[in-house]
Amino acid sequence: MPILLPGIRELIEEKANGDIMDILVEASTQDIAEILSRLPSSEALYVFNLLPVELAIDVFEELDIEKENEILGGVDEKKKIAILNRMAPDDRADLFEQLDEKHKKYYLSIMKKEEVEDVEELLSYPPDTAGGLMTTDYVVVYEWMSVGDAVKRLREIAKETDFVYEIYVLNRKDRSVGIITLKDLIMCNPDEPVSKIMKTRMVRARVDDNQEKVAALFSKYDVTTMPVVNRKGIMKGIITVDDVIDVIEEEDTEDMYHFGAAGNPPESYFSAGIFGTARRRMIWLLILVFAGFLSGSVIEHYSSTLQLMLILASFIPVLMDSGGNAGTQAAAVVIRGIAVGDIKIVNIWRVIGREFLVGALVGTGLACLTALRAILTGSGGFVGLIVGSAMIISVAIATALGGFLPLLFKKLNLDPALMSGPFLTTIMDVISLGIYFEIARRMMRLIG
Amino acid sequence: MPILLPGIRELIEEKANGDIMDILVEASTQDIAEILSRLPSSEALYVFNLLPVELAIDVFEELDIEKENEILGGVDEKKKIAILNRMAPDDRADLFEQLDEKHKKYYLSIMKKEEVEDVEELLSYPPDTAGGLMTTDYVVVYEWMSVGDAVKRLREIAKETDFVYEIYVLNRKDRSVGIITLKDLIMCNPDEPVSKIMKTRMVRARVDDNQEKVAALFSKYDVTTMPVVNRKGIMKGIITVDDVIDVIEEEDTEDMYHFGAAGNPPESYFSAGIFGTARRRMIWLLILVFAGFLSGSVIEHYSSTLQLMLILASFIPVLMDSGGNAGTQAAAVVIRGIAVGDIKIVNIWRVIGREFLVGALVGTGLACLTALRAILTGSGGFVGLIVGSAMIISVAIATALGGFLPLLFKKLNLDPALMSGPFLTTIMDVISLGIYFEIARRMMRLIG
């Protein structure tokens, strides 16, 4: 799409509205939104104003919130009212979440009363809960209706409703009691009561369920929409699978940032300023520097034995690295295992045991290689023995810790991915160096 | 659900079939599948045989392939035939992918001819392409039909088809030319031609598109199903959003494993054996150990200046860590930026520039802290100056490398996440130590 950009900018300058529309008519709403977000404000507004109102609303919903704000501020009041009243309720709530008080008040004052109530209801839920994800744009019927009644109702409201393929059945108290699909409706006899054909076994989310839990339910039950109910079972909205895909991407991005100890992610890579980025990363690095000083102290402590220091120094990096790397491997594997549900907190001992064994096996291999190098480079078999034993012990501890710490974090209700590679590497440095020098000191004393 | 397990096992022992069914009737197909996968073979088979055939097929599709194999081997031939002919085509192809030749041949011999052809067609596409993901279970109509004809056709086949909400319009040559939704069908006049109400602007996948590309299309265009066409535009199948969610999870798991240098992921955490796991992780650690030896050589090289070594030794860990950690942060951020499409290969210079600046800023902060510590612990201002300068330079190089290498990998058509934290940490160790000792050597020579 961006290929079109220079062409469009030329057409805007020439005010060749017909030609611009010829291009846009061929593009999807997402592609038009992408073009608008790459144009400078005034040109984006010019193009947006060319769009017929239906298409304009669809395109508007695809913009990011900053651009929505910009466009909404620039269009005339009639278009403002149309957009605000008719855009998807969940996207609208996300927009209002970011508005300043002045604009919020103004926009609410020109909207229809029922839409104002809808915004206020959706804003009352935290954005990362089922309530914050849901939309109020769905079809309900009541359990005493017939299939014919339901089809009639559907025809009446389908035009303004995006999600018509699952129809929710409520009882007299607005509790969600069942679900029918549009497929069932068109296949069944119109005289049959809805309550007879509805499926009562259905997955519901609670308004206060965390968005991660919602994503896991979608993934497990392979549904494309899910009803959201409050504490009393009263239906409040539905969540659609496209928003769930966004949640999954968001959560995975967060995992990767946490695991890289890079803080919380900004909206997109280039959207964050250099200074803000530096500040976010600095916090973790500073903490880790203090931990690095600890490793330095270990070296300092043993460096009084001058001779020892000199013999062992060249193996410091390989020992430090191997502990950190093996721990990072284990942490990556366990963090992902927790995220996809393979590993639960109750498995903690099984995980530690597995990881310790894997670490001992791997460590033995690395130890042989390192000892061999010590012998071949003339450091001698004795140094090889010291380095090798330190390697096995550090790597086994590192993998066990890499398995244990994410589960501990989970247990403490923290994000397991906060147990980052850099964090683990730095902890392991202290431990590996301590083990290394202590083994060396003892062995050397042993042989006098 | 697992809470029910002991209860069910007791009922199986008592052969209390009615009671078992009472429990299962309340559970979703996914939950029944979960129960079966936790029961020992013979008990799982016993429960499976109690299920009415329709439900049995739905549950069967939810099992993992190993369990499918086990169950299919145990049921009588009549049930085998029913399952094989009627299960979802994409799940069936996945099952056949894993069968040995003997079973494959036997099962194909008892299936309907058209289903055999379907299996053979789907198996002809690699599993990680659009062709490998798609199912052949969808509704098509032809462009010359009327809405009324289309509804009639739909009613005829809807019972055996899971995905009826998007109906694909083909031309005389079976090329996909448009799409209509079930909603449009029920809202329109039956006499209207399908070609008039169909949407011709639609997103299609090509059979040979990579599954990552397919997931990105779903995420961008917010669709729940997508038609798959071959090189000539002839429609071959559809991909459904639930399979796309599985793809996203699979790709993200792969990213995290690669980034932790833990090799390729197994099917689930506990499904991999200890030895296999150790072997997979060992490969990377061995490569990294060789790189660690390089760092050792740097120390060895400079340790001839005995005095220098002793002064600088205690700052080795903090310098090694900071370079590795800052590089890992940058890599995490850039890898995710590439995965979600924020960063493209053309942005490479912008990314390197940004990361270098962020690194210089962050490095300066860390340098001040480290120099301060050198002074406070009595190593003196001169050592502080050496360590501080080395810190700024290493961290800036580390972040620039952390930004550059994932993009280089991408350019080489490798997974950017292969530029793992451990890999980067180990490269940075060599660089950081080299910078550190070289600055020290020069500065010391300068003051004599």
B124-156 residue pLDDT tens: 999 889 999 999 989 999 999 999 898 888 888
- Residues B322 and B417 occupy one common structural domain: yes
**A207 domain residue, yes or no:** yes
Question: Considering the entire predicted model, what is its pTM?
Answer: 0.81
Give the residue from A406, A331, A284, A265 showing the smallest Cα distance to B256. A331
Nearest to B328 among A30, A182, A261 (CB): A261
Instruction: Flag whether residue B380 sits within 8 Å of chain A, measured between CB atoms.
Output: no
Residue ending a domain, choose from A124, A150, A170? A124
- Model confidence over B154-200: pLDDT tens digits? 888 877 787 888 899 999 988 989 999 888 887 888 899 999 989 88
| pLDDT beyond 60 at B19 | yes
- Model confidence over A340-368: pLDDT tens digits? 788 889 989 999 999 999 999 989 999 99
- Model confidence over B405-424: pLDDT tens digits? 999 999 998 888 887 888 88
Residue ending a domain, choose from B107, B124, B141? B124
**A263 domain residue, yes or no:** no
Query: Which pLDDT score, from 0 to 100, does residue B205 have?
Result: 94
Q: Which two tokens stand for residue B24?
A: 């299962």
**B16 domain residue, yes or no:** yes
- Residues B212 and B355 occupy one common structural domain: no
Nearest to A289 among B309, B329, B370 (CB): B370
- Residues A155 and A23 occupy one common structural domain: no
- Residues B308 and B422 occupy one common structural domain: yes
Residue B257's Cβ-count burial label (10 Å; 0-12, 13-18, 19+) is buried
Q: Do A425 and B324 touch (CB under 8 A)?
A: yes
- Model confidence over B355-399: pLDDT tens digits? 999 999 989 999 998 899 888 877 788 889 999 999 999 999 999
**B249 domain residue, yes or no:** no
Q: Do A337 and B295 touch (CB under 8 A)?
A: no
- Model confidence over A253-302: pLDDT tens digits? 888 888 888 888 887 777 777 888 888 787 877 777 777 777 777 777 77
Give the separation between CA A73 and CA A404, rounded to whole angstroms: 52
Range of the domain at B72: 2-124
Q: Which residues of B touch A260 (CB under 8 A)?
A: 259, 328-333, 421
Query: Which pLDDT score, from 0 to 100, does residue A274 have?
Result: 81
Q: Which residues of A touch B370 (CB under 8 A)?
A: 289
- Residues A120 and A148 occupy one common structural domain: no
Q: Which residues of A touch B219 (CB under 8 A)?
A: 245-246, 249
Residue A58 contacts residue A29 (beta carbons within 8 Å): yes
Residue A12 contacts residue A46 (beta carbons within 8 Å): yes
* Beta-carbon pairs below 8 A across chains A and B: 358
**A273 domain residue, yes or no:** yes
Give the separation between CA B214 and CA B239, rounded to whole angstroms: 9
The backbone torsions φ and ψ at residue B188, rounded to the nearest 5 degrees and listed phi first, read -100, 165
Q: Is B355 helix (H, G, I), strand (E, B) or coil?
A: helix
Q: What is the distance in angstroms between the Cα of B367 and the nearest Cα belonging to chain A?
A: 10
**A385 domain residue, yes or no:** yes
**A259 domain residue, yes or no:** no
Q: What is the distance in angstroms between the Cα of A183 and the nearest Cα belonging to chain B?
A: 7
**B428 domain residue, yes or no:** yes
Q: What's the CATH code of the domain at A206?
A: 3.10.580.10
Which residue on chain A is closest to B354 by alpha carbon?
A: A274
Q: What is the mean pLDDT of residues A428-443?
A: 88
Q: Which residues of B touch A361 (CB under 8 A)?
A: 274-275, 278, 282
- Residues B117 and B17 occupy one common structural domain: yes
- Residues B114 and B141 occupy one common structural domain: no
Q: Do B314 and A322 touch (CB under 8 A)?
A: no
Q: Which residues of B touch A400 (CB under 8 A)?
A: none
Q: What's the CATH code of the domain at A37?
A: 1.25.60.10
- Residues B114 and B157 occupy one common structural domain: no
Helix ranges, A182-240 (H): 182-187, 194-197, 211-221
Domain count, chain A: 3
Q: What is the distance in angstroms between the Cα of B389 and the nearest Cα belonging to chain A?
A: 15
A28-32, A126-130, A415-419 — which is least confidently predicted? A415-419
- Residues A298 and A429 occupy one common structural domain: yes
Q: Do B361 and A289 touch (CB under 8 A)?
A: no
Distance in angstroms between the alpha carbons of the first and the last residue of chain B: 75
Query: Which pLDDT score, from 0 to 100, does residue A306 have?
Result: 57
Residues in chain A: 448
Q: What's the CATH code of the domain at B409?
A: 1.10.357.20
Residue ending a domain, choose from A100, A124, A148? A124
- Residues A112 and A157 occupy one common structural domain: no
Angstrom CA distances, B109 to A402, B76, B113, B143, stand at 50, 15, 9, 37
- Residues A183 and A297 occupy one common structural domain: no
- Residues A139 and A275 occupy one common structural domain: no
